[in-house]
Amino acid sequence: DAGVTQSPTHLIKTRGQQVTLRCSPKSGHDTVSWYQQALGQGPQFIFQYYEEEERQRGNFPDRFSGHQFPNYSSELNVNALLLGDSALYLCASSVRDRGLGNTIYFGEGSWLTVV
Amino acid sequence: AQKVTQAQTEISVVEKEDVTLDCVYETRDTTYYLFWYKQPPSGELVFLIRRNSFDEQNEISGRYSWNFQKSTSSFNFTITASQVVDSAVYFCALTRGWGGTASKLTFGTGTRLQVTL
């Protein structure tokens, strides 16, 4: 049973560029959430996708956008990269309607460095 | 608003010592879940435990144990007889207990545990 998979694992971008990160949720999971973790900090919620729509959003600018595909996989796009976007981006998968029984699993993350 | 506080930034212990990681949370919800995750240097957040707000029983899993006390809004994590492999950053997290909102975690700032020989 494959867990949550993310790609790429590491990447370096230049200020002003755009980046796309990808995530495949755990088998049987239909909800994907994205988190940003700056160095030395806890992960911060960016947004969540379910049924191919953004359902919740954290305090992140519109430069951060996403997409969910019919197979539940997801992409995170960041436009006009800033140095401060350098972070570990984590994808989490869960089952939306499980409610009281929901366990949230994370992938290994994508390390983004903006220079 | 929800908040998780992990006051211990870094803890260093010698192998075989017991260590307790503190977690204090704030929420206005009556139904919520608390989580602990381990983050090794590779970056992946490894799920350790989930506890719902209706179950205050302590839990033990091997060398790990958790003490949940609603009266003090705390969910502390103890590692007994620590090992070098326990070295990592540990995060406590909180989420609402129903529907889609159950997937949005609020994390603490983490506690870095260093276990030396």
Rounded to a whole number, what is the distance in Å from the CA of A35 to chain B's nearest CA? 9
Q: Which of A104, A108, A113 is most worth mutating to test chain B (most B CB atoms within 10 A of its CB)?
A: A104
Percent over 70 (pLDDT), chain A: 93
DSSP secondary structure code for residue B86 in this structure:
G
Which residue among A96, A100, A109 places its CB closest to the CB of B103? A96
- β pairing state of B3-5 and A64-68: unpaired
Average pLDDT over residues A46-61: 93
Q: What span, in angstroms and rounded, lies between the C-alpha atoms of A59 and B37?
A: 23
Instruction: Judge whether A113 is closer than 8 Å to chain B, CB to CB.
Output: no
Minimal-distance CA residue of chain A relative to B55: A100
Instruction: Judge whether B53 is closer than 8 Å to chain A, CB to CB.
Output: no
The rounded mean pLDDT for chain B is 91
Rounded to a whole number, what is the distance in Å from the CA of A36 to chain B's nearest CA? 11
Nearest to A67 by CA among A89, A88, A86, A48: A48
Find out whether A35 and A45 touch, Cβ atoms under 8 Å.
yes
Q: Output the pLDDT for position B29.
A: 87
Rounded to a whole number, what is the distance in Å from the CA of A94 to chain B's nearest CA? 7
* A61-94 tens-digit pLDDT: 999 999 999 999 999 999 999 999 999 999 999 8
Q: Which amino acid, residue B106? A: T
* B1-30 tens-digit pLDDT: 899 999 999 999 999 999 999 999 999 988
- Higher-confidence residue: A105 or B19? B19
Instruction: Judge whether A57 is closer than 8 Å to chain B, CB to CB.
Output: no
Locate B103 and state its tokens.
């997937």
Kindly tell me if the per-residue pLDDT of B103 is higher than 90. no
Q: Output the pLDDT for position B52.
A: 85
Partner residues linked to B55 by β-bridges: none
Does A45 contact B106 at a Cβ distance shorter than 8 Å?
A: yes
Kindly tell me if the per-residue pLDDT of B70 is higher than 70. yes
Does A45 contact B42 at a Cβ distance shorter than 8 Å?
A: no
- Higher-confidence residue: A100 or B111? B111
Query: Which residues are within 8 A (CB) of A36 and not within 5 positions of it... i.e. 6 or more apart?
Result: A43, A44, A46, A60, A87, A88, A89, A90
Kindly tell me if the per-residue pLDDT of B106 is higher than 90. yes
Rounded to a whole number, what is the distance in Å from the CA of A104 to chain B's nearest CA? 7
Find out whether B21 and B87 touch, Cβ atoms under 8 Å.
no
| Burial grade of A43 (CB within 10 A; 0-12, 13-18, 19 or more) | buried
Nearest to A109 by CA among A31, A40, A15, A43: A43
Locate A97 and state its tokens.
């309607």
